[in-house]
Amino acid sequence: MCGVAGFVDFSKSVSSQVLNKMTDVLNHRGPDDSGYSFNESKLANIGLGHRRLSILDLSKHGHQPMIFQNIEIVYNGEIYNFKEIRRELIELNYTFESDSDTEVILKAYHKWGIDAVNKFNGMFVIVLYDRDQEKIILIRDRAGIKPLFWYLRGNYFLFSSEIKSFHQFPNFHKEIDKAGLSLYFQYGYIPQPHTIFKNTFKLRSGHFIEVDLNTKKITETKYWDVIDYYNKPKLNIDKKEATIELEKLLTNSFEYRMVSDVPVGVFLSGGYDSTAVASILQKERSEKIKTFTIGFDEKGFDEAPFAKNIANFLGTDHTEYYCTQKEALDIIPNLVEIFDEPFADLSAIPTILVSKIAREQVTVALSADGGDEAFAGYNKYVRSLKYLEYLKKNSFSQFLLKNSLPLLMKSKMLDDKYNNKIGRIVETLKKHESESVLKFMCTMNQEEINKYFLKKPNHLKTFFDDENELLNSNDNLNKMLAIDYKTYLVDDILTKVDRSTMSVSLEGREPLLDYRIIEFSSQLPSSLKSNKGNSKMILKDIVHNYIPKELMDRPKTGFAAPMQIWFKDELENMIKLYLNNTRLRKENIFDIDEIEKLKTQYFKEPFNPIYYVKIWNFIIFEMWYERWM
């Protein structure tokens, strides 16, 4: 795991020292080594920078940037099947100096061009400078596990694993994109390809960009899309056959992600996803795998006892750490440094803490994200399906609600708490589709957001708007799974894990996000994933082969911390500091009167999540603004 940064300077005015600064600000992503390549071609100055966290081939042979003939590479991630690709290349008369996957990527591109990406199984961001074609090529993995940002304005094209590199570039124009900010308040994160800044973008998952140095033209191309697999005919397969095939895929995927020249551990919550990873891996080993869990003393939040029971049954080398209120509070000031655009998911705090604990013993940790999106694990899917089914059966109720609720809102008979809920219901009724139900569950709808801005922000298209690309052969459940895979998973969950692990120089690997698993599960009938409220059906059957069912039976909980309990007093102080009228008036972004109403509502009901979450989102933005603007 590493960090990459660089630029194409068509004005040829920027020096190599800028490249060094852009790269070194990513030291946390790669503390073991650094490399810089500054190329002064006739067309542009081109900088490629790399910070290395040594995982495979710890010798100097893994140093980057790496060059083969007229191709140069910087790369972040892991290609898990690199040994198979390497053998194929050796048969084609290629020779290798290192045992690194970087050299395999470089020579695979030399042989097959951009089509080489279809051979790679892994998580990756790859930047190639092809001197023969006079192109810079940027590639992001299928699921979007690894991040890559890019910026284009005037004569400058920048790229980096994190936006903070751009602040080191003297010609970076940091202007807030109000439409991107609007997305943040809607979801608590900013969905790809958008960011908080104008002219700044996330490279979409499953895409690559080519920068033509002769024409300055930038072309973005999709090479993989989960929707293509949801649109394939569903497999004619029974539950037993599906379970057998899935277990084979899981076992192979998990073993791939244990390949390392440094110690590897597993994040264990005691839920089905992380238990599947730990149990399958431990079964194949005589030595104890290392597992890590964060616990809380507050009831209703503590999963540590469940994880400990699983670890004891499997016989893992288990580390359990109980987080204190002070430790959580100490992390808050660092959140906007770690997440260098506004990001409001509170579970980032325990994720950072468990990463710190794991890093004391291992350099690689396996997380178990993606199981809910692949196998319908979230409770929201059950609630959404019930809601959509009700609307389908009660067309008169739907007509009545669609026409009467807006009138009720306009009457101003209800306070904001109810108006907000009703506004979301009306939005859902307009479309009566699963995509709109997912938006219904967001932090704020567009009408709510607009009232907080002095000037109404524009609407930006995201992957939430891709539902029309899903064929009607997909039922509502599969449609929700596909959209969540392209939105919430990559831009909330994977962003949280990447920044949290990388903040302590820990490589986070995602064994459930092997593309073969989602390609298989997307072609399964929904009835094999969830039926009558029983979610993750075939995954649960696999886990029960390793763990007694009675150890696993418990209500699903998210990976959260008791922030509302811990932060009540501190939040009041933060409101006074970050949401005061003087600060807000100077920024000239928000309607002060509406912010005052929200503060009043929060102080009346501090444990009401409607107000608490909004307040937290505003505070995070203001902390970010103070740090980066």
Active site residues: 2
Is the backbone peptide bond immediately before 193 cis, with ω within 30 degrees of 0? yes
DSSP label at residue 468? G
Sheet holding 507-509, edge to edge: 317-322, 290-295, 264-267, 364-366, 507-509
- 96 Cβ contact list (under 8 Å, min separation 6): 86, 89, 90, 103, 104, 107
Closest CA to 292 of 388, 186, 203, 367: 367
- Measured CA to CA, the distance from residue 577 to residue 374 in angstroms comes to 42
Show the tokens assigned to 225: 């899309």
Q: Is 55 exposed, middle or buried (0-12, 13-18, 19+ CB in 10 A)?
A: buried
Q: Name the strand (E) or helix (H) holding 136.
A: strand 135-140
Q: Which residues contact 158 (CB under 8 A, 6 or more apart)?
A: 6, 7, 22, 150, 151, 152, 165, 166, 169, 172
Q: Residue 435 contacts by C-beta under 8 Å, 6 or more apart in sequence?
A: 464, 465, 467, 479, 480, 483
Cross-strand bridge partners of residue 508: 365
Query: Could you give the CA distance from residue 559 to residue 537 in angstroms, rounded to a whole number?
Result: 21
**What span, in angstroms and rounded, lies between the C-alpha atoms of 597 and 302?**
34
Q: Where are the beta strands (DSSP E) in 253-338?
A: 264-267, 290-295, 317-322
Q: Find out whether 490 and 143 touch, Cβ atoms under 8 Å.
A: yes
Closest CA to 253 of 284, 289, 228: 284
Residue of 260, 266, 273 whose CA lies nearest to 288: 266
Q: ∠ CA 502-503-505 to the nearest 5 degrees?
A: 55
Counted residue by residue, the chain has a size of 629
Q: Give the C-alpha separation, 102 to 73, whole Å.
A: 8
Whether residue 183 contacts residue 206, with contact meaning beta carbons closer than 8 Å, is answered with: no
276 neighbors 371 (Cβ within 8 angstroms):
yes
The angle, 0 to 180 degrees and rounded to 10, between the axes of the packed helices 379-393 and 395-410 is 100
71's CB contacts (< 8 A; 6+ apart) are 106, 109, 110, 128, 129, 130, 131, 132
Task: Name the residue type at position 40.
Answer: E
